[in-house]
A and B are shown apart, each in its own frame.
Chain A
């Protein structure tokens, strides 16, 4: 499945939830999405970066250049408090959505 096929909000939610634990850089995010979804989702670089920039403009994530010893300078993204709240909201919406879906179809999501 390509990201373009996912509902727009869900791609953002994927990124936000990956940043929940700790700050990460773009490449790491792409790799993580690939491995965690067992390659069911493939983010194109093309879509990750504009998405991060949009989240940043919205104040949901905060990007900073970080320099570590023996490593090149990288831009790390971390969740802002506002991003954390947005993630919680989206989670609740999705949970309600799945619950409704369940009731109607008897379908269990994993």
Chain B
């Protein structure tokens, strides 16, 4: 086998550039070698093959002339494309950037991971904020949907409800709304007929609700208007999609099947679409979909009196009618009702609100607070990456400087560095999207039920678009400063002079970045600290009763039980059934229970304290059985509880501590006489026999208000709320207790069945959630700040190795070197803390509405955050300081 290159070169005498000649020779050599090899493979002897291959060339001199002629032809130059200027070669830049990152995988991972943290948090919070505040409810024309209801004039903090008669009157007279629909509380009903009785969550709703929300059933039909007329609704039911899948495996023959609920039989006429929820869904125990929907007319409370307010009402405004006009109309109709029925409606104030506000409004402040917090985290992540890139730039300054010296325009350098940060941010964006997915899963699992139930919260195109924007922002934020620094003339000169260390300017810039990070982290830590302190304060609050192992069930005596004796008999039957269950220790009944969001007040006039024209004390009014206080764990402060002596024959009452202090300051209220109700002249005298401990009726955050109790026996309740004290874990007993209530009397309802602790937790759930999230973000921010400090200090130590070595050679101790490094870190941190304190002082005021028992400038939160951050910063400096102390002067000084 000859050396083909030599073979060709011997024969071909070319007068072209040597590099070009080498290429041509190689190409021809390959041609000949392959041709001859093929011939040899075909069986031609090697010498003959060589000859034939060479014969392909023929005349070498002629070939040389032809090649020279071809090479001498003028080279065609492609004219530059018109949009060359700014973007030309940007693909090349990106390729170069990717190659660079591949070569530095650890750097790329750290930087992209840092950005992923910031981007993921932002994407997740944006998705939530989008659902809460930007996107609106998932119904057509949702901003035309209004909720309405009434509360006592002096109690705007109470949730608004409507009674069934009021609802029917509004519906009959409204001109402003195309339709009004009523929605019951979540009703726990027992499904029988199967192998095992099952407790289902049901809602009674007006037939027109689905049409109003623009929802049509996935299967079958919706309720007909006729099925919701009168007071005996047709026995038809719609089932929720999840229940359909769970119970019937999604079979289509489910239509027309009977459903035995609480002893009545309903026919399934349709299945609602997957994920359908009513956004204004009232108080519910678990974040699940409603199982069964029934016509409102079939609700057992629908024929009750006007003072029983239990319905939520939603309406759609007519075209051309403003929300203001709708509100005016409902207030007008409400005023008419008050004139007509002063007894029940006299003191009611009517409210009309956007359904969206009612469902989601209370989440807005916390969600935007969190969005701001993750914005901070993103800023910090970008600063960290900027710092890393700056350090990289230092290593590549000579390369950049030479490129500029050779004529590369500055913007090309900037663009290339930006391409690198963009590649990093894109990588971070991909990681961030995954992280966001995970965060949202956690959010849906533990987030406030009211929020998770009413809106589908998931990553969608909008969120990904937002992520893309965030990626671009992060790329610019983290890349622009390093890129700009690298083309400063001062830097250039230094770099060309052979320096590989950062100039003083760049060092100062990095210090500022680290300081800013420390400041941002401090602001977040202070915010989280304030929330943690608020939550602690809240948990320290004594609600005035013991919620543990306490179950509540709302019920209603049957329509036939009209006399006080009959009502008492029904109550006693329920009580006996409950007491028969092992683990039940006490049972009592009351008219209004704490933490359920509803209340009734009465004007209280004390004997000898009535001043003409002065307002009476508005006291929360409750009727309770004698054992109510013991069951709830409410302490007796003075006097005695109710007992069998008290009833219709003597008029007695208990007051709570707040009332006692307010009405009889410094006096003993026992034996004092009051009148309950207005006008006082029409009321009998009532004697105070005891003082009960105060309770927080509306939630842990709202201070106890005056309360007065009268004995159950004086006027047995039509709709008693049962409270049951259990010896075992209350949650597990809930179904058995509800079943016992239902079994006491045919057709008796049991709804709002809750473990009391669930209600108390619910009143703190939103705050707990906000606190957890902000704390998590703050912890992440602190970590980022520590990484920033670590990166900056260890880089500075690496650059000052010679200096440190020199100092040591001149007699400085290892301790001094360590102190020098720690001092530098501490100076940075302290400067950051100072800036952070100022910023926090300005920003925490925005948190006022989510704080409880803590001032926005709480010194403990401010100090604790600074100390914590300081400790972390010192920790971050420890390793570089240790390295500084171990510098060997001889080695350091020998280094180039």
Chain A residues within CB distance 8 Å of chain B? 26-27, 30, 44-47, 49-51, 53-54, 57-59, 65, 72-75, 80, 82
Measured CA separation A30–B63 after assembly (Å): 16
**Across the A-B interface, the 10 shortest Cβ-Cβ residue pairs:** A59-B76, A50-B66, A53-B70, A54-B70, A57-B73, A45-B56, A46-B63, A50-B70, A50-B67, A27-B34
Measured CA separation A51–B67 after assembly (Å): 8
Q: Which residue of B27, B62, B74 contacts A57 across the interface (Cβ within 8 Å)?
A: B74
A47 CB contacts on chain B under 8 angstroms:
66
Chain A's closest residue to B23 (CB) is: A75
| Contacts A/B (CB < 8 Å), 19 sampled | A26-B27, A26-B31, A27-B35, A44-B56, A45-B35, A45-B57, A46-B59, A50-B67, A53-B67, A53-B71, A57-B70, A57-B71, A57-B74, A57-B75, A57-B76, A73-B26, A74-B30, A75-B23, A82-B78
Give B26-46 interface residues, CB cut-off 8 Å to A. 26-28, 30-32, 34-35
Contact check, B58 vs A46: say whether CB atoms are below 8 A apart: yes
A57 CB contacts on chain B under 8 angstroms:
70-71, 73-76
Chain B, residues 687-700, CB within 8 Å of chain A (1/0): the string is: 00000000000000
Chain B's closest residue to A42 (CB) is: B56
Give B57-85 interface residues, CB cut-off 8 Å to A. 57-59, 62-63, 66-67, 69-71, 73-78
User: How far, in Å, is A75 (CB) from chain B's closest CB?
Assistant: 5
Measured CA separation A73–B24 after assembly (Å): 13
Chain B's closest residue to A58 (CB) is: B76
Measured CA separation A59–B76 after assembly (Å): 5
Q: With A57-B75, A74-B30, A75-B27 in contact, is A46–B57 under 8 Å at CB?
A: yes
Contact check, A49 vs B30: say whether CB atoms are below 8 A apart: no
User: How far, in Å, is B335 (CB) from chain A's closest CB?
Assistant: 80
B70 CB contacts on chain A under 8 angstroms:
50-51, 53-54, 57
User: How far, in Å, is B633 (CB) from chain A's closest CB?
Assistant: 81
A45 CB contacts on chain B under 8 angstroms:
28, 31-32, 35, 56-57
A72 CB contacts on chain B under 8 angstroms:
30
Measured CA separation A47–B75 after assembly (Å): 20
Given contacts A49-B63, A57-B75, A57-B76, 6 further A-B pairs with CB under 8 A are A26-B27, A45-B32, A45-B35, A50-B66, A54-B69, A75-B23
Contact check, B62 vs A46: say whether CB atoms are below 8 A apart: yes
Q: Which residue of B24, B28, B34, B73 contacts A54 across the interface (Cβ within 8 Å)?
A: B73
Measured CA separation A50–B58 after assembly (Å): 14
A82 CB contacts on chain B under 8 angstroms:
76, 78
* Contact residues of B: prevailing secondary structure: helix
User: How far, in Å, is A33 (CB) from chain B's closest CB?
Assistant: 13
* Contact residues of A: prevailing secondary structure: helix
Measured CA separation A73–B5 after assembly (Å): 14
User: How far, in Å, is B42 (CB) from chain A's closest CB?
Assistant: 13
Q: With A57-B71, A82-B78 in contact, is A46–B56 under 8 Å at CB?
A: yes
B31 CB contacts on chain A under 8 angstroms:
26-27, 30, 45, 49
Q: How many positions in chain B have a CB within 8 Å of any CB in the partner chain?
A: 27
Measured CA separation A57–B71 after assembly (Å): 7
Chain B's closest residue to A50 (CB) is: B66
Among A45, A49, A65, find the residue whose CB has the most chain B CB atoms closer than 10 A.
Answer: A45
Measured CA separation A38–B26 after assembly (Å): 29
B58 CB contacts on chain A under 8 angstroms:
44, 46
User: How far, in Å, is B27 (CB) from chain A's closest CB?
Assistant: 5
A53 CB contacts on chain B under 8 angstroms:
24, 67, 70-71
Among B26, B27, B56, find the residue whose CB has the most chain A CB atoms closer than 10 A.
Answer: B27
Contact check, A44 vs B57: say whether CB atoms are below 8 A apart: yes
Chain B's closest residue to A60 (CB) is: B76
B56 CB contacts on chain A under 8 angstroms:
44-46
Q: With A27-B30, A82-B78 in contact, is A49–B35 under 8 Å at CB?
A: no
Measured CA separation A53–B30 after assembly (Å): 16
B77 CB contacts on chain A under 8 angstroms:
59
User: How far, in Å, is B258 (CB) from chain A's closest CB?
Assistant: 71
Contact check, A50 vs B34: say whether CB atoms are below 8 A apart: no
B62 CB contacts on chain A under 8 angstroms:
46
A74 CB contacts on chain B under 8 angstroms:
30
Measured CA separation A53–B28 after assembly (Å): 12
A30 CB contacts on chain B under 8 angstroms:
31
User: How far, in Å, is B70 (CB) from chain A's closest CB?
Assistant: 4
Contact check, B59 vs A50: say whether CB atoms are below 8 A apart: no
Contact check, A49 vs B28: say whether CB atoms are below 8 A apart: yes
Contact check, B74 vs A49: say whether CB atoms are below 8 A apart: no
Chain B's closest residue to A72 (CB) is: B30
Chain A's closest residue to B63 (CB) is: A46
Chain B's closest residue to A73 (CB) is: B26
User: How far, in Å, is A110 (CB) from chain B's closest CB?
Assistant: 28
Chain B, residues 739-779, CB within 8 Å of chain A (1/0): the string is: 00000000000000000000000000000000000000000
A54 CB contacts on chain B under 8 angstroms:
69-70, 73
Chain B's closest residue to A57 (CB) is: B73
User: How far, in Å, is A91 (CB) from chain B's closest CB?
Assistant: 20
Measured CA separation A45–B52 after assembly (Å): 12
User: How far, in Å, is B496 (CB) from chain A's closest CB?
Assistant: 34
A65 CB contacts on chain B under 8 angstroms:
23
User: How far, in Å, is A108 (CB) from chain B's closest CB?
Assistant: 35
Measured CA separation A43–B76 after assembly (Å): 26
Measured CA separation A65–B57 after assembly (Å): 22
Chain B's closest residue to A46 (CB) is: B63
User: How far, in Å, is B22 (CB) from chain A's closest CB?
Assistant: 11
Measured CA separation A49–B75 after assembly (Å): 16
User: How far, in Å, is A12 (CB) from chain B's closest CB?
Assistant: 12
Give B239-260 interface residues, CB cut-off 8 Å to A. none
Measured CA separation A26–B57 after assembly (Å): 13
Among A26, A53, A65, find the residue whose CB has the most chain B CB atoms closer than 10 A.
Answer: A53
Q: With A26-B31, A27-B35, A44-B56 in contact, is A49–B67 under 8 Å at CB?
A: yes
Contact check, A49 vs B27: say whether CB atoms are below 8 A apart: yes
Measured CA separation A86–B31 after assembly (Å): 27
Measured CA separation A59–B77 after assembly (Å): 7
B63 CB contacts on chain A under 8 angstroms:
46, 49-50
Measured CA separation A82–B75 after assembly (Å): 13
Q: With A44-B58, A72-B30 in contact, is A50–B69 under 8 Å at CB?
A: yes
User: How far, in Å, is A3 (CB) from chain B's closest CB?
Assistant: 11
Measured CA separation A23–B677 after assembly (Å): 99
B57 CB contacts on chain A under 8 angstroms:
44-46
Measured CA separation A30–B32 after assembly (Å): 12
Measured CA separation A45–B8 after assembly (Å): 13
Measured CA separation A73–B30 after assembly (Å): 9
Measured CA separation A58–B76 after assembly (Å): 5
Measured CA separation A46–B23 after assembly (Å): 16
Measured CA separation A75–B25 after assembly (Å): 12
Q: Which residue of B26, B32, B34, B78 contacts A59 across the interface (Cβ within 8 Å)?
A: B78
Measured CA separation A85–B410 after assembly (Å): 36
Chain A's closest residue to B69 (CB) is: A50
Chain B's closest residue to A62 (CB) is: B78
Measured CA separation A57–B74 after assembly (Å): 7
Measured CA separation A74–B33 after assembly (Å): 13
Measured CA separation A45–B31 after assembly (Å): 8
Measured CA separation A35–B391 after assembly (Å): 61
Measured CA separation A65–B26 after assembly (Å): 11
